[in-house]
C-alpha cells in the first residue's frame, strides 16, 4: 500500500465540488473555495477534503505515516482538463503563420492545399515512432502547464490507415503517459484532395468503412466533424454524426468557426455533447444550445492566433449555455499546450470572470469529454489529479498572464511535476 499524501495549509483550495451536470449561469462562478484548505489522498484517490483545522482533527494522528506537502501561501486546484486537442500530428506549419501575417486567410491557405491538408501529408508520411515521440513531448508540455487529462482528435489522416495510426498512438500513450487521453474520431476534418469533386464518396467512406473500423477496435469515444462552408455541409455533418451515434460514438461539432453556418443549431438538433469554436454562432444557435444543454467549447487562443474576434463567451454564459475552454492544440490555428494562457484569454477576450474560467477548464471540461466521474474536481472518490500553483489566490492565476505558475502536479496521487 502506498503512503497517504496530505496537502495542507493551502491559502486557497479550489474544489469545484458539488453539482450534477455541466455548470451554467451563476453556477459557473461557484468554485467550492476553501480558505486554508487541505486534501488527504489514499491510493491515488481523494479520501477527504476540508479546512486544515478540520483535517487535523480527522487525520492529525496519522501525519507521520503520510507524505505531507505544506502549501502555505499557495493555490491548489483540480488538474486542468483540456477538452479539445489535435495533439497527434506530423511536421509543423510556421510558414503559414508568416503567410497569414502577410494577409493570407486560414481558408485560402487550406483551399490551396496547405492547412489541414499539409499536416495530413506530413502525418501520412511520418512513421508511428516519429508521431509517437512528438505527441509524447506535447503531452509532457501539457503536464507542465497543469493539464492532467486531454481529449485528442484524429483527422490528420483522412484515410483509414492514418486515422487508425493516430488513434493507436493515443491508445498507447494513454496506457504509458501520466496524462489521461480521451480519443475522438475526426475523419471528417477536411475533404482530402483525392476526393475533390467526389465529396459524397468520401462521406460514404467515413460512414461505411471508417466508423465501423474505428468502433470495432473501440478506438474512440466521440465523433467530430468540421461543419464549415467549403468543408462539410450541415446535412453531411448530420449524416456522419448520426452514423457515428449508431456505432456508439457521441457527437461533437466544429461549428460556426469561420462563417455562420447553422453549426450551433445542428449541435442542438443532433444532441451533440459539445459544439466547438462558435466564433460566428447565431443568437438562435446560442438559444438552442442553452435549451438542449449543449456545452460550448470555446477556443480563445485560436481566435487570437487567427486574429479573429473571440466567441461570445460572456453572452453564452448569460444565456445559460454551459461553457468550457480549450487550447485547441494543433499545428495551424493554435500551436499551444497552455491551458493557463487559455484561461487568461477567456477572461480578457471573452469577459469571463476568473472563477468562470477555472470552472470552464476543470469540471465543465470534464463533462465535455465524459470524465466527470473521475476528474475535474477535488471530491472524495475522484482521482487525485491536483495542481499547486505559485500564486496566492485564483484571481492572481488569471491576472498574472502569460507566465507558467505551476509549482507541482500530482496525477492519481503521484507527483509528476
Ligand X SMILES: N=CN[C@@H](CCC(=O)O)C(=O)O
Choose among 117, 21, 23, 12: nearest CA to 75.
Answer: 12
Q: What is the DSSP letter of 191?
A: -
Site residues (CB under 6 A) for ligand X, limited to 67-86: 86
The total number of residues written for the chain in this structure: 417
Interface with ligand X (CB under 6 A), residue total 13
Q: Interacting stretch for ligand X, rule CB under 6 A, among 65-73, 282-290, 328-336, 405-413?
A: 328-336
Choose among 166, 148, 150: nearest CA to 158.
Answer: 166
Decide: is 224 part of the binding site for ligand X (CB under 6 A). no
- Is 82 annotated to bind ligand? no
The alpha carbon torsion through 372, 76, 360, 241 (nearest 10 deg) reads -40
Q: Interacting stretch for ligand X, rule CB under 6 A, among 115-123, 161-169, 281-289, 360-368?
A: 115-123
Among 15, 52, 330, 337, binds ligand X (CB under 6 A): 330
- Is 257 annotated to bind ligand? yes
In the complex, what is the shortest distance from the CB of residue 331 to ligand X, in angstroms, rounded to a whole number?
5
- Is 328 annotated to bind ligand? yes
In the complex, what is the shortest distance from the CB of residue 333 to ligand X, in angstroms, rounded to a whole number?
4
In the complex, what is the shortest distance from the CB of residue 119 to ligand X, in angstroms, rounded to a whole number?
5
How many Cα atoms sit within 13 Å of 45 on the Cβ side? 8
Q: Which of ligand X, Zn ion, none does residue 312 bind to, with CB < 5 to 8 Å depending on kind?
A: none
In the complex, what is the shortest distance from the CB of residue 166 to ligand X, in angstroms, rounded to a whole number?
13
Measure the CA–CA gap between 52 and 7, rounded to whole angstroms: 9
Among 114, 244, 332, 354, binds ligand X (CB under 6 A): 332
- Is 105 annotated to bind ligand? no
Q: Interacting stretch for ligand X, rule CB under 6 A, among 32-40, 112-120, 161-169, 342-350?
A: 112-120
Q: Toward ligand X, which CB reaches closer, 34 or 323?
A: 323
C-alpha cell of 284? 438562435
Choose among 28, 12, 3: nearest CA to 347.
Answer: 28
Site residues (CB under 6 A) for ligand X, limited to 119-178: 119
Decide: is 331 part of the binding site for ligand X (CB under 6 A). yes
Instruction: Name residue 251's beta-bridge partners.
Output: 223
C-alpha cell of 285? 444557435
In the complex, what is the shortest distance from the CB of residue 93 to ligand X, in angstroms, rounded to a whole number?
7
H runs (alpha helix) in 80-231: 94-101, 106-111, 116-125, 128-144, 160-176, 199-205, 211-216
Q: Toward ligand X, which CB reaches closer, 228 or 385?
A: 228
Q: Toward ligand X, which CB reaches closer, 6 or 226?
A: 226
- Is 189 annotated to bind ligand? yes
Q: Residue written as cell 486546484?
A: 77
Residue 324: count of CB within 10 angstroms of its CB: 30
- Helices (H), strands (E): how many in the chain? 17, 16
Site residues (CB under 6 A) for ligand X, limited to 255-274: 257
Q: Toward Zn ion, which CB reaches closer, 294 or 408?
A: 294
Decide: is 337 part of the binding site for ligand X (CB under 6 A). no
Decide: is 226 part of the binding site for ligand X (CB under 6 A). yes
Among 82, 136, 163, 328, binds ligand X (CB under 6 A): 328
- The β-bridge relationship of strands 45-51 and 323-325 is unpaired
Helix (H, G, I), strand (E, B) or coil at 188: strand
- Is 125 annotated to bind ligand? no
CB-based contact 214:183 (threshold 8 Å): no
Site residues (CB under 5 A) for Zn ion, limited to 322-351: 328
Secondary structure, 3-state, 17-40:
CCCCCCCCHHHHHCCCEEEEEEEE
Q: Which of Zn ion, ligand X, none does residue 146 bind to, with CB < 5 to 8 Å depending on kind?
A: none
Element (H, E) at 77: strand 75-78
Measure the CA–CA gap between 342 and 338, rounded to whole angstroms: 7
Query: With the C-alpha atoms ordered 93, 97, 99, 103, is the resulting torsion angle positive or negative?
Result: positive
Decide: is 356 part of the binding site for ligand X (CB under 6 A). no
C-alpha cell of 119? 499536416
Among 8, 165, 254, 382, binds ligand X (CB under 6 A): 254
Q: Toward ligand X, which CB reaches closer, 154 or 398?
A: 154
Q: By beta-carbon distance, which residue lies closest to ligand X?
A: 332
Element (H, E) at 13: strand 5-14
Site residues (CB under 5 A) for Zn ion, limited to 238-267: none
Binding residues for Zn(2+): 84, 86, 254, 328
Binding residues for 4-imidazolone-5-propanoate: 93, 156, 189, 257, 333
Residues at the site binding ligand X, with contacts judged by CB under 6 A: 86, 115-116, 119, 226, 254, 257, 302, 328, 330-333
Residues at the site binding Zn ion, with contacts judged by CB under 5 A: 328
Amino acid at each position: 500500500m502506498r503512503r497517504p499524501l496530505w496537502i495542507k495549509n493551502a491559502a486557497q483550495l479550489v474544489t469545484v465540488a458539488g453539482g450534477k451536470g455541466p455548470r451554467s449561469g451563476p453556477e459557473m462562478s461557484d468554485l467550492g473555495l476553501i480558505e486554508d484548505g487541505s486534501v488527504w489522498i489514499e491510493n491515488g484517490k481523494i479520501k477527504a477534503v476540508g479546512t486544515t483545522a478540520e483535517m487535523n482533527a480527522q487525520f492529525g494522528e496519522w501525519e507521520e505515516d503520510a507524505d505531507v506537502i505544506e502549501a502555505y501561501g499557495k493555490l491548489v486546484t483540480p488538474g486542468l482538463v483540456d477538452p479539445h486537442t489535435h495533439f497527434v500530428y506530423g511536421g509543423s506549419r510556421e510558414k503559414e503563420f508568416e503567410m497569414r501575417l502577410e494577409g493570407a486567410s486560414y481558408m485560402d491557405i487550406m483551399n490551396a492545399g496547405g492547412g489541414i491538408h499539409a499536416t495530413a501529408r506530413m502525418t501520412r508520411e511520418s512513421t508511428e515512432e516519429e508521431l509517437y515521440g512528438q505527441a509524447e513531448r506535447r503531452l509532457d508540455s501539457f503536464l507542465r502547464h497543469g493539464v492532467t487529462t486531454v481529449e485528442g482528435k484524429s483527422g490528420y489522416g483522412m484515410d483509414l490507415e492514418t486515422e487508425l495510426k493516430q488513434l493507436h498512438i493515443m491508445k498507447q500513450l494513454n496506457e504509458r503517459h501520466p496524462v489521461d487521453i480521451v480519443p475522438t474520431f475526426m475523419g471528417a476534418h477536411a475533404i482530402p484532395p483525392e476526393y475533390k469533386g467526389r465529396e459524397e464518396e468520401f462521406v460514404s467512406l467515413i460512414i461505411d468503412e471508417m466508423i465501423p473500423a474505428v468502433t470495432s477496435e473501440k478506438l474512440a469515444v466521440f465523433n467530430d466533424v468540421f461543419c464549415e462552408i467549403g468543408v462539410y455541409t450541415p446535412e453531411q455533418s448530420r449524416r456522419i454524426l448520426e452514423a457515428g451515434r449508431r456505432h456508439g460514438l457521441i457527437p461533437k461539432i466544429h461549428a460556426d468557426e469561420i462563417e455562420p453556418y447553422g453549426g450551433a443549431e445542428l449541435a442542438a438538433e443532433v444532441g451533440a455533447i459539445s459544439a466547438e469554436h462558435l466564433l460566428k454562432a447565431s443568437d438562435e444557435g446560442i438559444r438552442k444550445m442553452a435549451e438542449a444543454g449543449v456545452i460550448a467549447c470555446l477556443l480563445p487562443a485560436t481566435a487570437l492566433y487567427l486574429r479573429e474576434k473571440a466567441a461570445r463567451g460572456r453572452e453564452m454564459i448569460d444565456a445559460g449555455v454551459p461553457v468550457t475552454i480549450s487550447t485547441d492544440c494543433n499545428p495551424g490555428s493554435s500551436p499551444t499546450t497552455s491551458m493557463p494562457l487559455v484561461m487568461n484569454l477567456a477572461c480578457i477576450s471573452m469577459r469571463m470572470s476568473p472563477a468562470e474560467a477555472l470552472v470552464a477548464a476543470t469540471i465543465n471540461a470534464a463533462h465535455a469529454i465524459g470524465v466527470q466521474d473521475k476528474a475535474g474536481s477535488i471530491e472524495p472518490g475522484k482521482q487525485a489529479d491536483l495542481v499547486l500553483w505559485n500564486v496566492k489566490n485564483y484571481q492572481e492565476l488569471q491576472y498574472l498572464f502569460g507566465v507558467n505558475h505551476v509549482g507541482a502536479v500530482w496525477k492519481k496521487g503521484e507527483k509528476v511535476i
